[in-house]
Structures are given as C-alpha cells and as structure tokens.
Amino acid sequence: MTQKFTVDVQSEVGRLTGVILHRPGPEVAAMTPATAERALYSDILNLDVAETQYDQLHGVLERWTTTFQVRDLLTDILANDRVRESVVSRICVQEKAGLIRDALRELEPVDLTRALIEGVPIVRDNLTRFLSEDRFSLPPLHNFFFMRDAAAAVGNRILVGRMASAVREREALIMEAIFDHHPGFETETVNPVRLGAPGPGVTIEGGDVLVAREDVLMVGVGQRTSTEGVDFLIERLKAHGVARHLLVQVMPEKPESFIHLDMVFTFVDRNACVVYAPLVTEHNHFPTVHIHVEGGEVKRIREIDCLMDGLRDLDFDLEAIPCGGGDDRWLMEREQWHSGTNFFALAPGKVIGYARNVHTIEELDRRGFTVLAAPDVIAGKADIEAHERCVITIDGSELARGGGGCRCMTLPVGRETLA
C-alpha cells in the first residue's frame, strides 16, 4: 500500500471502495474429524474445491474494487520489531504457548505470518508432548477466511470482535494489530477487552453487526453475540455522545445456521433486503428490541413486533425478498442452512452470493436482479455496471459447508456514502 486508506462504512450497500480478504489455505486442510467440532465446524472441507470456489469471489472483487489480503497486511506489520514482539507476546500469553515464544520471535515476517495463521506443529521432544493427541503447539486458524467476525467497520472506526469461542481469539488480535499498526490504514480500533468490558460474558462478532444507515445499527444476539456485548455498544455510543438507533434481534440458539444476524438478513439494495421470513417479517417468540441512544443516555428501549416493523418505524421502505423464494417453509429452511440470506453488496442493487441457493436466486431474478455467473464477470463476458440490479453467483457448495456466505468472507473497509 502506497497511499493511506481511510476506513469509512456508513451503510451495507454503498459502492465498495475497499475490502479485506483471506484466501483459505493449509490451515483449512489441517482440520481433522477429531478437531472439527472444536474448530466450530460440522464437517471438514476439501481445500482444493474451497480454494477454487473462493477464487470466484476474489476474482469478482478484484475486478470491482481495491482488495487487501490479510497475509500481506500481517507480514507488513511484522517487519516492525516492536509490533512483532507485541503480537507474539500477546498470542503466546493468550494461548498459553510460552514454550514456542522464542522460536516465533526468530522467524522472518513471512514465515511468522504463516505460523500465526497455519499453526505451529508440536515438537515431540519430551514424554508429555510425545504422548499428546494434539498436532499443534499453536493451532491453525481454520475459520479465518470468514473475515467478518473478528472485526467490523462501523463508520470510521473498527469494532474488534470479542469472540465467543477461544479458538477464534487470535483472529481478533491479528486484525486489531493490523488496524492499529499498518501505515496504510487510517482508523481507530474499539476493543471491548482493552476498554474494560467486564467478564467473559461480553461477546460481539461482526456477523451480528449491520450498518443499516449512518444513524442505525442492527445487532443480532444469540450464539456469538451476547446481551452484554450490545450493552458495551450502548456504553460506547453514550460515551461518544452520538445519536443512534439500535435494532436488536434475538436469534435462535439452534440450529447452528442461525450463527449471526447476517444469516437471516442482509441488504441487497437501498430499498431491498433478503430475509429468513419466519424470524424477520413475522411476529415470533424471539424478541426484537428498539433502543434509542442520544445525548449520552438511553432515551428509549422497547420491544417491537419484528425487525421489519422496526425498520419501517425508522423510515426504511424495504422490499423483503424471502430466502428460499415464496412461502414454502421447507425451502426457506434448506437454503437458510447454506447461507441463503448471506449476500454481500458491491453497490446498491449489485450483490454476490451462492449459486447453490437456487430458489433464492430465482426469487431475486423475479424481483429484477439479473443473474450473472462469477466466471463470466471475471472473464469480462458480463458487465456488472450494465445492470441496474444484478446478483453475481459463485459456486459455493464447499464454502457453505464452513458455515458462512459471501458477507461472512468479506471485511469492507470503505464504501461511498449513499446519495
């Protein structure tokens, strides 16, 4: 990076000007059936297939905007001795890996980056380690290609994730270090841990945070983000004295596909969203809460019927496009399971998602979104700009098995302000 990039995200659909990605690599192939559950997976992935499918996402984004790779950014900051010492020390303390601290310190930046992402194999030089069932002294980051969770751009700040599972804490630490120390980014990090959020009950992940508008945040509460995590956001808003509306949706604990809010709701245009209707558009027994913060205090907090009602109350006129198409609950459930609502916007009305969710894609087509195949976009055979509304489809049969979609795999750091 030769120029400083100013982080600024004021919506979910403003034209994308910069995005951070992480291409899945050997850390994914290192997962075994025995470690899959601990790594938060229900199955192991075929890396060759996952890489091929991921390259479709990457290829489309490279043609559209400025892309950054985490490996490159991390290698850049690890060339600074002070930063390298801090990152290594924090990781070794956090993961009780003090025995390998000196070895990590001696690595060149590119090799240290590889070790921090792909893991450090255990050296079986004593009886305890010889008999250990672990393969790694520092485990691989199997989930890191789901960039959204460890950090989220909210306005001109980066919210650092307070991860619900210890196996993902290193991801948040790495992202915080990048935004704090990379000379190419201009931003401020907001880290619940460093700002004194009390206790392990405070968790918040980026998949649960949607920037609906400059003054409206949507937050999911469930498997990964706690009510205490939302309380932390409220306190930060109060401290900065900014006016914000928070629409909070409590999520089901099961099945595991309801992992984050963006697995039931994403914006696809200024006036359109894709939703899992039973939770988002209908009254149900999972609470939806509207919180108004202004002037350093909570002005109002109340329960509302559903998320769409709350958005309407805040002057959003949204077309709710059902995941699975139509009103067949069985199709909704099948496609929600494989990230059928999880779209990522390149610009208003121009989004990217999984081709495998055929009924959702067909419904988008009926609503005026021209369907473009990612390989055609990459090859220059299809022009995104030629369509007012379009959905670019990538092959995602393997990627979806990791438990996330295109929004999950992207960390936008810049969007143009909506007119």
pLDDT the model gives residue 37: 64
28 vs 41: CA distance, rounded Å? 11
DSSP SS3 for 401: helix
Q: Which pLDDT score is estimated for 2?
A: 64
C-alpha pair distances (Å), 395 with each of 57, 245, 352: 9, 36, 11
How far is CA 183 from its chain centroid?
23
Q: Which residues contact 216 (CB under 8 A, 6 or more apart)?
A: 244, 245, 246, 247, 314
DSSP string computed for 132-177: -S-SEEE---TTTT-TTTTEEEEBTEEEE-B-SSGGGHHHHHHHHH
**The predicted structure's pLDDT at residue 409:** 97
Half-sphere exposure of 322 (CA within 13 A, CB side): 17
pLDDT digits (tens, 9 = 90+) for 348-391: 999 999 999 999 999 999 999 999 999 999 999 999 999 999 99
Tens digits of per-residue pLDDT, 236-264? 999 888 879 999 999 998 888 899 999 99
Tens digit of each residue's pLDDT (9 = 90 or more) over 313-352:
999 999 999 999 988 999 999 999 999 999 999 999 999 9
Q: Which of 311, 416, 418 is nearest to 64 (CA)?
A: 416
Over its length of 419 residues, how does the chain's per-residue pLDDT go in tens digits?
667 999 999 999 999 999 999 999 999 988 887 776 666 666 788 999 999 999 999 999 999 999 999 999 999 999 999 999 999 999 999 999 999 999 999 999 999 999 999 999 998 888 888 888 888 999 999 999 999 999 999 999 999 999 999 899 999 999 999 999 999 999 999 999 888 766 778 999 999 999 999 999 999 999 999 999 999 999 999 988 887 999 999 999 888 889 999 999 999 999 999 999 999 987 788 999 999 999 999 999 999 999 999 999 999 999 999 999 988 999 999 999 999 999 999 999 999 999 999 999 999 999 999 999 999 999 999 999 999 999 999 998 899 888 899 999 999 999 999 98
> Which pLDDT score is estimated for 126?
86
Tokens 């990230």, located at residue? 339
What domains are defined for the chain? 5-415 (3.75.10.10)
pLDDT score recorded for residue 172: 97
What per-residue confidence (pLDDT) applies to 39?
63
Q: Name every residue whose Cβ is closer than 8 Å to that of residue 32 and which is 6 or more positions away in sequence.
A: 44, 135
Instruction: Output the CA torsion 212→229→144→258 (10° steps).
Output: -70
